[in-house]
Amino acid sequence: MLHRVKFAHRLLTLLVTAVALLSVVGLTAMLGGRQLAQGAESVYAQRVVAMGQLARILDHVHHVRGDVVRIVQSESRLTLDRLSGDISASTGTIDELWAEYRALPHDVEETRLGDQFESALKAWRQAYAQTLAMLARGDAFGARESLGETDAQTYVVAAVSLRKLTEMQIGLARHQFDGAMAEWNRASLTAGAVIIGGLAALAAVT
C-alpha cells in the first residue's frame, strides 16, 4: 500500500512538472513570437511606408525636372502652357506625400535631413520658376542658362537629400528588424534552457 502511495505521488509530481514545463515553453514561445510580430509591424509602419513615400516623391521630382527641361528645350510658349499643369499636379502630390511622411515618428537625424530637403526643395522650386519665367518673357537664352546652372544645381541637391533619407530608412529598418530577431533568439534560448531544465527535473523525479 505504501509503495502505491509513493508511486502515485511520484506520478503526480511528474505530471505537474510536465504541465509546468509545457506552460513555460509555450508562454516563452508566445512572447517571442509576439515581439517578432511587433517588430515586423513597426518596420512596416515606420520604415516601409516611409520608403514608399520618399520613392514616390523622388519620382515626381524627376518628373518635374523632365517637364522643365522639355519646356526650355522646346522654346515654345505652347509647350509651357501644356506642361505647366503637369508641373502643378506633381508639385501638389509632392507636398501631400511629404506631409504624410513628416507625420510619421522620426528621430533627430531624420528630422535634420528632412529640414535639409525642405530647404533644398524650396530653393529648387524658386530656381525652376525663374527659368520658366525667363522663357515666358521670351528670354530663351537666359532660360537655357538658368536650366543648366542654378536650376540643375538645386535639383541635384534636392534629389541627393531624398536619397539620403531613403538610405537612412533602409538602415533603420534593418536595425529594427535585427532587434526583433534578437528578441526572438533570446526567447528561443530561454525556451531551450527551460526544456533542458525540465527534462533534468523529470529525470530526477523518475
What is the C-alpha to C-alpha distance for residues 91 and 85, in angstroms, rounded to an integer?
10
Sequence-separated (6 or more) residues with CB below 8 Å from residue 201? 17, 21
Confirm if 154 and 124 have CB atoms less than 8 A apart.
Answer: yes
What's CA 79's distance to the chain center, in Å? 38
Compare 91 and 26 and report the one with higher pLDDT. 91
- CA 172-106-124 angle, 5° bins: 100
Look at residue 26 and tell me whether its pLDDT is greater than 70. no
The residue-averaged pLDDT of 133-148 equals 93
pLDDT tens track for 82-115: 999 999 999 999 999 999 999 988 889 899 999 9
Average pLDDT rounded to a whole number, residues 37-64: 78
Question: In the structure, what pLDDT confidence band is assigned to residue 2 with cuts at 50, 70 and 90?
Answer: very low
DSSP string, 111-135: HHHHHHHHHHHHHHHHHHHHHHHHH
The pLDDT of residue 171: 78
> In which band, very low, low, confident or very high, does the pLDDT at 125 lie, cut at 50, 70 and 90?
very high
- Residue 169 to residues 6, 16, 58, 76, 173: CA-CA distances in angstroms? 63, 49, 14, 41, 6
Place of cell 506552460: 23
110 to 47, 62, 149, 165: CA distances (angstroms): 12, 22, 29, 7
| CA gap 81, 72 in Å, rounded | 12
| % of the chain at pLDDT higher than 70 | 64
Q: What angle do CA 51, 52, 56 make, to 5 degrees?
A: 115
- Of 60, 47, 56, the C-alpha closest to 107 is 47
Q: Give the confidence band of 16 by pLDDT, cuts at 50, 70, 90.
A: low
Pair 80, 136: CB distance under 8 Å: yes
